[in-house]
């Protein structure tokens, strides 16, 4: 907000025009381009001369919002300028960040992509694809951790020899399905018995409590039920492996978009790109990144510019994310990672709109 207090309304309008031109074309912006932009939009009652714009651009450079590449007479926005631009989009009597402002064709495309889906996991999986397509960045969707959730129902289906589909439904509405590769080949009867045992004994229990209790019973039981317990333990542990962030589903799509946006001509750029791809492949790292910046209680989309503080390999990238919620309860996080040169208004509104779609569709399945 300190920068906003030092910038006049006209300087803010000039800065916005520079940023939008830079986002569109990726080239340093000169005063003539800004003057043409004002003329087209009729943002001012009277035209502003290029000389006046040059003076204002010099003032913006003095406060650290514009910089001038050595090889060009034009200016490019700094990270602080992008941050101020986003704040301005969200402020004012008629803020431009609102899910209802997303173009109708984008809303229709989103609705079409989500038609017929049901269940948290399926919705979040599709979310990463849709966000990557709309933003030309990396689409992210992360389910909420299951440890604090309560078990509602378990079902096992035999797919092939030693391959089983496990479907775990939680009280929150979160659904996890997972194909299990097993050492043994349980029969249909064994799978039905294991599911019935879990449903009858552990409905309403937390994930960790179920895991601990099965292990305890297996250790103590020395009767004909030992084999049943061993089967139950194997199926349950593979259905929901690990704990904490490991029990979160992470869906990532659009890495190629990010690769295309990065300059890779120089050796150091190629090295940084390799680090970035490694970070995107390490899904636990993405969970930590989202958890560090996105609060499940927040009501709106958030833009994070300082990703490098949490993940140095993300330097130069921006996160736009929001909680995926049903009413007051958070079921996960959705968002986009992209370069600073992204279309903030469309991307932020798309994230907001998809969060609303998620809420609406989950209510429909209640």
- 113-169 pLDDT, tens digit per residue, is 998 886 666 787 889 899 998 888 889 988 776 666 788 999 999 888 888 988 888
Tell me the per-residue pLDDT of 184-241, one tens digit each, with 9 for 90 and over. Answer: 899 999 999 999 999 999 999 988 889 889 988 888 876 667 888 888 888 888 776 5
How far is residue 300's CA from residue 314's CA, in Å, rounded to a whole number? 23
Residue 266 above 70 pLDDT?
Answer: no
Q: In Å, what is the CA distance from 100 to each residue of 96, 230, 354?
A: 10, 53, 11
Give me 53's structure tokens.
Answer: 């714009």
Residue 244 above 60 pLDDT?
Answer: no
Q: In Å, what is the CA distance from 287 to each residue of 124, 304, 315, 334?
A: 14, 15, 17, 11
Helix, strand, coil distribution of the chain in percent, nearest 5: 55, 20, 30
Instruction: Say which residue, 157 or 255, is predicted with more confidence.
Output: 157
Cα torsion 146, 150, 153, 157 to 10°: value is 20
Distant-in-sequence contacts of 254-257, Cβ < 8 A, 24+ apart: 254/128, 254/131, 254/132, 254/133, 254/135, 254/136, 254/137, 254/138, 254/139, 255/138, 255/280, 257/132, 257/135, 257/136, 257/137, 257/138, 257/338
pLDDT band at 95 (very low <50, low <70, confident <90, very high): confident
DSSP string, 125-182: HHHHHHHHHHHSSEEEEEEPPSTTSBEEEEEEEEEETTEEEEEEEETTS-EEEEEEE-
What are the structural domains, with CATH classification, of the chain?
2-90 (1.10.10.10), 99-144+248-365 (3.30.450.40), 151-246 (3.30.390)
Instruction: Say which residue, 175 or 253, is predicted with more confidence.
Output: 253
Residue 20 above 50 pLDDT?
Answer: yes
């Amino acid at each position: 907000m300190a920068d906003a207090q030092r910038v006049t309304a006209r300087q803010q309008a000039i800065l916005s025009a520079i940023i939008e031109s830079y986002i569109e074309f990726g080239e340093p912006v000169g005063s003539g381009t800004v003057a043409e932009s004002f003329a087209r939009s009729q943002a001012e009652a009277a035209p502003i001369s290029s000389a006046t714009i040059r003076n204002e651009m010099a003032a913006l450079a003095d406060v650290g919002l514009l910089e001038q590449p050595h090889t060009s007479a034009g200016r490019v926005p700094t990270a602080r300028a992008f941050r101020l631009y986003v704040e301005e989009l969200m402020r004012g009597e008629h803020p431009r960040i609102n899910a209802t402002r997303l173009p109708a064709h984008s809303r229709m495309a989103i609705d079409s992509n989500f038609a017929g889906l049901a269940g948290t996991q399926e919705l979040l999986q599709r979310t990463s694809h849709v966000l990557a397509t709309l933003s030309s960045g990396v689409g992210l969707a992360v389910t909420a951790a299951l440890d604090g959730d309560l078990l509602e129902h378990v079902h096992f289906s035999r797919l092939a020899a030693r391959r089983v589909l496990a479907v775990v439904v939680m009280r929150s509405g979160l659904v996890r399905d997972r194909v299990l590769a097993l050492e043994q080949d349980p029969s249909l009867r064994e799978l039905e018995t294991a599911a019935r045992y879990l449903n009858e004994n552990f409905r309403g229990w937390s994930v960790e409590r179920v895991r601990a209790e099965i292990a305890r019973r297996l250790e103590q039981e020395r009767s004909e039920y030992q084999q049943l317990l061993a089967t139950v333990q194997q199926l349950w542990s593979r259905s929901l492996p690990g704990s904490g962030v490991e029990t979160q589903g992470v869906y990532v799509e659009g890495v190629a978009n990010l690769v295309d946006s990065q300059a890779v001509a120089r050796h150091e750029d190629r090295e940084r790109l390799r680090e970035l791809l490694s970070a995107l492949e390490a899904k636990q790292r993405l969970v930590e990144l989202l958890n560090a910046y996105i609060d499940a209680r927040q009501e709106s989309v958030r833009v994070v510019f300082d990703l490098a503080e949490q993940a140095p390999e993300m330097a130069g990238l921006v996160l736009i994310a929001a909680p995926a919620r049903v009413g007051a309860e958070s079921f996960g996080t959705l968002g986009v990672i992209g370069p600073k040169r992204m279309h903030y208004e469309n991307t932020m509104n798309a994230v907001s709109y998809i969060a609303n779609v998620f809420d609406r569709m989950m209510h429909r399945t209640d």
